[in-house]
Structure 1
Amino acid sequence: MKLAIGQLQALVAGALLRAGANATMAECTARALVLAEAQGLVSHGLSRVSQYSGHLRTGRVNGAAHAQVLRRKGGALLVDAQEGLAFPACELAVREAIAAAREQGVAFAGVTNSHHCGVVVDHLRLAAAAGMVGLGFANSPSAMPAAGGRHPIFGTNPVAAVFPRRNADPLMIDLSLSEVARGKLMVAAREGRSIPAGWALDKDGQPTTDPQAGMDGSMLPIGAVSSPKGAMLALVVELLVTALIGANFGFEASSFFVDEGNRPRIGQAFILVDPDALAGADSYLDRIEVLITEMLRDEGVRLPGARREALRRLAETDGIEVADNMLATLRG
């Protein structure tokens, strides 16, 4: 059944409200999950509603939380998510960072005591609309081993970037530092499908094509078959979003994929840069088009974010197809 984006947001928000979220948290989270679904990112869309609702009901998420800025110094600021869902805190962090970057030229906004933050680059849409270059980072419950290790320590630790353009969609880059996002294993397990070799290890450290065994075991970092580079990048992100801002390491947070466990208290970080503080906005906008023109000389090159933006626009006009069982879950 196809639903308009507004209808779907209302259904998701209602489900989260019934599970114990306050109105601000429910509405902000609903917008983010429906936006992910509209872009075809189903592992970060409606499939997360039951997960978040379960965490609200068992107390793993503080449904009464209201994010607030804890401290500021120059272009740096720290936002406390108060153990609630991450979306209101991330939105507050990016809005405050935009204001700080306008004044300071660059800003670093950390979010502590947080939860799963969905599609990281979507938080940076506000930065692009303000003409800012934005970088985003997050950790998550342990899913990947350190280089040479066997037991999970780091999360899948996504990295995102947004680069605004003149009269065009921004470049939107978003990638997990695992070979694939862990949410893809969640979806495969739910649908009874196997996963390709090279995505995950079982709890004994052996390669597996069983998605549930992979979720019970560990994910492989990007390039893990031939290089430790992916694990090294995961280490960098882990430290950026924990040691600097007082959030939990991935191995200190219970899995997102179970209802019982601790409040994750993980972290996110956003770095915003005002091009006017450096070469100047006009110079930046000119130079990025030079690079894009060169990239597009080769047939088959697709600009990052182009596909998801096309799907989002289609969803805005045509609505989003929702399976009957998902619709029943949301209404229930």
Structure 2
Amino acid sequence: MPETFSRSELETLVAQALAAAGAHAEMARLTAIALVDGEAIGQAGHGLSRVAQYAAFLRNGRADGAARPEIIAEKPAAVLIDAGHGLAYPALAMAEAEGERRARSQGVAFVGITNSHHSGAMGLPVARLARRGLVALAFTNSPAAMPVAGGRRALLGTNPVAAGFPRAAGHAPLVVDLALSTVARGTINRYAQSGTPIPEGWALDAEGNPTTDAKVALFGSLVALGGTKGAALALVVELLCVALTGAAFGFEADGFFSEEGNRPRLGQALLVID
């Protein structure tokens, strides 16, 4: 018979699993909150399905479980945070707090994160900021997954964009959260796990040919949302998250769907407006 868990019970279970894999208590706690929140809003690709993956990254050294984020450069309305190769969520929590504090003081704030990792549902931090009356935009680059127009080799990540806008009191904020591929790689992974074919037009195989085989697609590339336009927007996100932070380009980061590989050194960017 299926068992039902409360949110707090799930957070405890996830935190325990991550701590057992090597994450310090605060990293485990913040990551657990983010993954359970992702599951709760229906983004299963950024929810509980990531627990085993993150634990493997911690055990294999792809993520440093002892890392603690620190501010390494700042001006009144701008700050750069080094995630220290740890899971992204402690750095994202610091970015959210710094973005809000500086935006309320300066009117606008830009926060960059470097040496980071997979950052889950980017709509979550912008939604929290919007509920507190701020406009927020968030970006992250990711391991190369999409070719540029006419290309056969993955060069750009799916590079999600999220935005949150407050509404009148008593109303939920308006939140937009989307990857710049036709579909997110996490969605492809769920199809692969179930052995279900993916729709045509979602992905290419390793030779640049269209495929409906989800497992083949994971080792190929994804089709950019809107073709050339989507690839161009992905390049904009790549530059915001890399050129301004010193993080690694997506093509320098090993993919997330293999437990082995390098520390991805990804970047995130958060723009907050009061």
Instruction: Give the TM interval when normalised to the shorter protein.
Output: over 0.9
Length, aligned pairs only: 271
Greater per-residue helix proportion: 1
Matched, 1:238 2:241: no
In structure 2, the residue corresponding to 1:137 is in which secondary structure? strand
Q: Which amino acid counterpart does residue 28 of structure 1 have in structure 2?
A: L
Following the alignment from structure 1 to structure 2, what is the Cα–Cα distance between the partners of residues 191 and 6? 28
CA drift at 1:40: 1.5
Q: Which amino acid counterpart does residue 15 of structure 1 have in structure 2?
A: A
Alignment of 1:78-227 (within 5 A): 78-167=80-169, 168-224=171-227
CA drift at 1:130: 2.4
Where in structure 1 are there 5+ consecutive unaligned residues?
275-332
Following the alignment from structure 1 to structure 2, what is the Cα–Cα distance between the partners of residues 8 and 14? 10
Equivalent residues of 2:155, 2:251 under 8 A apart: yes
CA drift at 1:147: 2.3
Equivalent residues of 2:122, 2:162 under 8 A apart: yes
Percent of pairs identical after alignment?
Answer: 54
Following the alignment from structure 1 to structure 2, what is the Cα–Cα distance between the partners of residues 40 and 183? 13
Q: Structure 2 residue aligned with 1:75, among 67, 74, 77? A: 77
Q: Structure 2 residue aligned with 1:58, among 60, 67, 70? A: 60
In structure 2, the residue corresponding to 1:85 is in which secondary structure? coil
Equivalent residues of 2:140, 2:161 under 8 A apart: yes
Q: Which residue of 2 aligns with 1:259?
A: 259
In structure 1, the residue corresponding to 2:42 is in which secondary structure? coil
Following the alignment from structure 2 to structure 1, what is the Cα–Cα distance between the partners of residues 32 and 221? 29
Q: Structure 1 residue aligned with 2:30, among 28, 51, 58? A: 28
Alignment of 1:238-317 (within 5 A): 238-274=238-274
Deviation readout 1:54-73 (Å, 9 max, x if unpaired): 00000000000111111111
Deviation readout 1:263-283 (Å, 9 max, x if unpaired): 000000000011xxxxxxxxx
Equivalent residues of 2:131, 2:172 under 8 A apart: no
TM-score calculated relative to the size of structure 1: 0.81
Q: Which residue of 1 aligns with 2:9?
A: 7
CA drift at 1:149: 1.5
In structure 1, the residue corresponding to 2:237 is in which secondary structure? helix
Q: Which amino acid counterpart does residue 229 of structure 2 have in structure 1?
A: K
Following the alignment from structure 1 to structure 2, what is the Cα–Cα distance between the partners of residues 72 and 129? 26
TM-score calculated relative to the size of structure 2: 0.97
CA drift at 1:94: 1.3
Q: Which amino acid counterpart does residue 11 of structure 1 have in structure 2?
A: L
Give the CA RMSD over aligned residues. 0.8
Following the alignment from structure 1 to structure 2, what is the Cα–Cα distance between the partners of residues 102 and 44? 30
Following the alignment from structure 1 to structure 2, what is the Cα–Cα distance between the partners of residues 81 and 6? 26
In structure 1, the residue corresponding to 2:174 is in which secondary structure? strand
Where in structure 2 are there 5+ consecutive unaligned residues?
none
Deviation readout 1:181-236 (Å, 9 max, x if unpaired): 11001111111111001110000000000111111000010022xxx100000000
Equivalent residues of 1:95, 1:126 under 8 A apart: no
Equivalent residues of 2:133, 2:166 under 8 A apart: yes
Equivalent residues of 1:124, 1:134 under 8 A apart: yes
CA drift at 1:126: 3.0
Q: Which amino acid counterpart does residue 169 of structure 1 have in structure 2?
A: A
Q: Which amino acid counterpart does residue 270 of structure 2 have in structure 1?
A: F
Q: Which residue of 2 aligns with 1:321?
A: none
Following the alignment from structure 1 to structure 2, what is the Cα–Cα distance between the partners of residues 192 and 236? 34
Following the alignment from structure 1 to structure 2, what is the Cα–Cα distance between the partners of residues 4 and 24? 20
Equivalent residues of 2:138, 2:162 under 8 A apart: yes
CA drift at 1:124: 1.6
CA drift at 1:125: 2.8
In structure 2, the residue corresponding to 1:2 is in which secondary structure? coil
Following the alignment from structure 2 to structure 1, what is the Cα–Cα distance between the partners of residues 47 and 272? 26
Larger Rg: 1
Q: Which residue of 2 aligns with 1:298?
A: none
In structure 1, the residue corresponding to 2:173 is in which secondary structure? strand
Equivalent residues of 1:108, 1:271 under 8 A apart: yes
Equivalent residues of 1:98, 1:130 under 8 A apart: no
